[in-house]
Amino acid sequence: MSEGYTFTKPFTLTCPECGGALFPPQDGPVLRYICHIGHEMNWPTMLAAQVNRIEGTLGTVMVLLKERAELARQIAQEDRADPAVLQAIAAEALKRAEVIKKLLESPWPELP
Q: Is 2 helix (H, G, I), strand (E, B) or coil?
A: coil
User: In this structure, is residue 3 part of a structural domain?
Assistant: no
User: In this structure, is residue 17 part of a structural domain?
Assistant: no
Distinct helix (H) and strand (E) counts, the chain: 2, 3
User: In this structure, is residue 26 part of a structural domain?
Assistant: yes
Q: Angle, to 10 degrees, between the axis of helix 83-105 and the axis of helix 43-77?
A: 160
Residue 1 pLDDT > 70, yes or no? no
For 98, the domain range is 22-105
User: In this structure, is residue 111 part of a structural domain?
Assistant: no
In this predicted model, what pLDDT tens digit does every residue of 91-104 receive, in sequence order? 999 999 999 999 99
CB 6 within 8 A of CB 14: no
Burial 1-17 (b: 16+ CB within 10 A, else e): eeeeeeeeeeeeeebbb
Cα–Cα distance measured from residue 104 to residue 54, given in angstroms and rounded to the nearest whole number: 9
In this predicted model, what pLDDT tens digit does every residue of 2-53 receive, in sequence order? 777 787 887 789 999 999 999 887 777 778 899 999 999 998 999 999 999 9
pLDDT at 68: 98
Domain count, the chain: 1
**pTM exceeds 0.85 for this model:** no
- Give the strand pairing for 40-42 and 22-23: unpaired
